[in-house]
Structure 1
Amino acid sequence: MGSVESPADFAQAGDGAWTDGPLILGVPWEFEERLVRVAAGLAAIMGAHLICAFVDPASYLTEWEPDGFLDGTSLDPVRNLEAEFPASELLSGLEGVLGPPGGAWSFRVLNGEVAQALGRLAESTDAAALIVGGQRPGRIARMGRLLEGSVSVSLTRLQARPVLIIPHLGP
């Protein structure tokens, strides 16, 4: 008869490779509830804070400021309540799924190119991992990826930390 192997000891498997930092969820304007629920469930299992981050498409990041200073600036220099609409609507949608922000989760609005903005947030918070949705099917989504690139692909190229991609299930 074959010998019975003892279970593997994974106690030291992640030493130095995984932080106790938060999980960062890149939230698109039109998000699937499933994406948010999977991220929140993983954060709960890990006992980690979930940061839901939205990169505002109506803004850019002025990278040419002095070292160590990042200034997010709107494309429209006059305060425009319509420009704040996407973030407030998104926050409202997230609250409908997760409840009010607090100890378990928070919401951030970022500026700049999506993958780089999420990477900067991950670096500044010492995030354990980044979570994003998978590529959406369809011609319009494909055209967007051709023009702007895929956030998930860019993150896996830019990041040293784990990137979890949740598949898109909708039509």
Structure 2
Amino acid sequence: MSDEIWLDCDEGWPDGPVVLGVGWGVSEHLVRTAAAIAAALGQHLVCAFVDPAGYLAEWEPEHQRTALSLEPASNEEAHFPSQQLRRSLESVLGQPGETWSYRVLDGDVAKALIRLAENTDASLLVVGAGGVGALARIERLLEGSVSAALIHRQPRPVLIVPRS
């Protein structure tokens, strides 16, 4: 993409789903905000959980790869939290279908969300603001800020929803 303005106000908001990055402790406020924006834009909401302990086979050194596909190495331990999260989303949004869907991805959170946004031609990425407190600061120091990585690594608009 060139340096041109991605959103031309004369043409309206770009088509494409709204991608919502959700974590294990997702807030109802974040989910409702993203759903309301997607509905106002007339777009599908894609809720994406990224398991940072998983990884895509393509990210292994070439001499260590056991697969040539983009299929992730399975992390059985992540199935329970991702299913719990899906049930939490369903309690707020109802059953997945025409208005929303749920994806489970693996790897670096920001990279996985960027890849999903590119593959779905998303019009907007939505994430929650980072946590507060010493533990959250240490986590950001070790792993980095997902919202900062999204803002700096890809051209789509990013909405950071504060905690309610």
Give the TM-score, by structure 2 length.
0.85
Q: Select the structure with the greater relative contact order (CA < 8 A; seq sep ≥ 6).
A: 2
Match of residue 22 from structure 2:
27
Task: Report the Cα distance in structure 1 between the residues aligned to 2:112 and 2:53, rounded to whole angstroms.
Answer: 14
* Secondary structure of 1:59 counterpart: coil
What is the Cα deviation at residue 83 of structure 1?
Answer: 3.2
Match of residue 107 from structure 1:
102
Match of residue 33 from structure 2:
38
Range with bigger deviation, 145-154 or 54-63? 54-63
The alignment of Structure 1 onto Structure 2 pairs a total of residues equal to: 151
Q: 2:157 aligns with which of 162, 165, 171?
A: 162
What one-letter code is carried by the residue in structure 2 that aligns with 1:70? L
Match of residue 118 from structure 1:
113
Task: Report the Cα distance in structure 1 between the residues aligned to 2:78 and 2:150, rounded to whole angstroms.
Answer: 26
Identity, in percent, stands at 56
Q: Which has the larger radius of gyration?
A: 1
Instruction: Provide the aligned C-alpha RMSD in A.
Output: 1.9
1:152 aligns with 2:147: yes
Deviations along 1:2-47, whole A, 9 cap, x unmatched?
xxxxxxxxxx6253x8531100000011011000000000011000
- Please list every run of at least 4 consecutive aligned residues from structure 1 whose deviation after the TM superposition is greater than 3 angstroms: none
What is the Cα deviation at residue 60 of structure 1?
Answer: 1.2
What one-letter code is carried by the residue in structure 1 that aligns with 2:129? G
Segments of structure 1 that go 5 or more residues without pairing to the other structure are 1-11
CA contact (8 A) 1:19 1:126 kept: no
Match of residue 83 from structure 1:
78
Task: Report the Cα distance in structure 1 between the residues aligned to 2:84 and 2:120, rounded to whole angstroms.
Answer: 25
CA contact (8 A) 1:21 1:48 kept: yes
What one-letter code is carried by the residue in structure 2 that aligns with 1:74? S
Task: Report the Cα distance in structure 1 between the residues aligned to 2:84 and 2:10, rounded to whole angstroms.
Answer: 38
* Secondary structure of 1:37 counterpart: helix
